[in-house]
């Protein structure tokens, strides 16, 4: 379903005399439908870059990324939205729309995919309740805590039941109770048939999941284990 083929991402040097930054170096792996894959590594290992490449938010320096046999970086600009609607992304920095309330942020995705007002009115409250933000529906992102924003981002990624969930540190700001809830939710969605790619530092989560783990270090794959553990 998803294939990274000899991917390298090098950021050019910003200042004279400085070296270019190698975020990813010749990374190749494949993810099948319904897989639950965790990507672990230290900060700067290249986890977020991998997810950005899949979303075509960044272009690779070398190599190709395929989504359902389609090279994502060869997709025309006007067709990219259709790819992105198939992917529910939880960004590390949340990327909530600051001018919209929590409810509107979550509903926005439903509007993007063309859902009716009735469907939106029915579905959004349910997902907000699931992530524990029912009482914060009318607040704007700046009025939410880090954890609340994270949960709002998760709700937005899940609501339209995409084919793939990309979760970049989705539990980074959450307390243990909410962390457990979110991981359970991701597992549940995965059981229904959604492919999940989770990037995390959380050792407990990884070890508890017992799912495939790809370990990155300095932009390279260190390990790719079917039932992996958090080892750095």
Partner 1 sequence: MLISIKRIFHSGWQIFSRDKEVSLATVFILFLAIFLVSSLFLFTDLTKLIITSTQEKIDISVYFKEEADEDDILGIGKEISKFSEVKAVEYVSPEQALVEFIERHEKDPLLIEAVEEVGRNPFLASLTVKAWDPSKYGVVSSFLQTADFQDLIEKIDYFERKSVIEKISSLSSSATKIGVLLSVVLIIIAVLVVFNTIRLSIYNSSEEIKIQRLVGASNLSIRGPFLVQGMISGLIATFTCFLLFALLSWSLNSSTESFFYGFSLFNMFVSNFWVLLFLQLITGISLGTLSSSIAIKRYLET
Residues forming the site for partner 1 (CB under 8 A): 55, 57, 77-78, 80-85, 87, 89, 91, 95-100, 108-109, 111-114, 116-117, 156
**Is 64 or 100 the residue whose CB approaches partner 1 more closely?**
100
Report how far residue 172's alpha carbon sits from residue 160's, in angstroms, rounded to the nearest whole number: 23
Nearer CB in complex with partner 1: 7/90: 90
Closest contact distance (angstroms) between CB of 109 and partner 1 is: 6
Order of all β-strands in the sheet with 36-41 = 87-90, 164-168, 195-199, 36-41, 212-217, 220-225
Q: Provide the minimum distance between the beta carbon of 55 and partner 1 in the complex, in angstroms, as a whole number.
A: 6
Contact call for residues 106 and 128 (beta carbons, < 8 A): yes
Q: How far apart are the first and last CA of the chain?
A: 28
Distance in Å, CB of 118 to partner 1, minimum: 11
Are 147 and 134 in contact by the 8 Å Cβ rule? The answer is: no
| Least CB distance to partner 1 at residue 77 (A) | 7
- With tokens 């992102």, the residue in question is 141
Judged by CB, which is closer to partner 1: 66, or 140? 140
**Bridge partners, residue 212, by sequence:** 37
157 CB burial (10 A radius; 0-12, 13-18, 19+): buried
Toward partner 1, which CB reaches closer, 43 or 77? 77
CB of 169 to partner 1, least distance (A): 16
H or E, element range at 52: helix 47-54
Nearer to partner 1, 149 or 211 (CB): 149
Rank residues 73 and 220 by Cβ distance to partner 1 and give the closer one.
Answer: 73
Taking the complex as a whole, the smallest distance from the CB of residue 201 to partner 1 amounts, in Å, to 23
């Amino acid at each position: 379903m998803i294939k990274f083929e000899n991917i390298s991402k090098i950021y050019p040097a910003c200042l004279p005399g400085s070296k270019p930054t190698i975020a990813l170096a010749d990374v190749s792996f494949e993810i099948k439908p319904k897989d639950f894959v965790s990507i672990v590594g230290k900060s700067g290992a290249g986890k977020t870059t991998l997810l950005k490449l899949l979303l075509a938010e960044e272009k690779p320096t070398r190599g190709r990324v395929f989504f359902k046999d389609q090279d994502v970086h060869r997709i025309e600009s006007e067709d990219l939205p259709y790819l992105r609607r198939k992917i529910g992304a939880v960004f590390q920095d949340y990327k909530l729309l600051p001018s919209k309330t929590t409810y509107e942020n979550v509903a926005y995705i439903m509007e993007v995919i063309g859902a009716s007002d009735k469907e939106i009115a029915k579905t959004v409250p349910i997902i907000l309740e699931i992530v524990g933000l029912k009482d914060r529906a009318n607040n704007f992102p700046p009025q939410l805590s880090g954890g609340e924003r994270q949960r709002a981002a998760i709700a937005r990624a899940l609501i339209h039941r995409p084919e793939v969930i990309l979760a970049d540190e989705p539990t980074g700001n959450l307390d243990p109770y909410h962390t457990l809830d979110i991981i359970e939710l991701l597992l549940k969605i995965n059981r229904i048939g959604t492919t999940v790619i989770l990037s995390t530092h959380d050792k407990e989560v990884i070890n508890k999941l017992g799912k495939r783990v790809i370990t990155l270090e300095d932009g390279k794959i260190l390990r790719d284990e079917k039932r992996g553990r958090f080892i750095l």
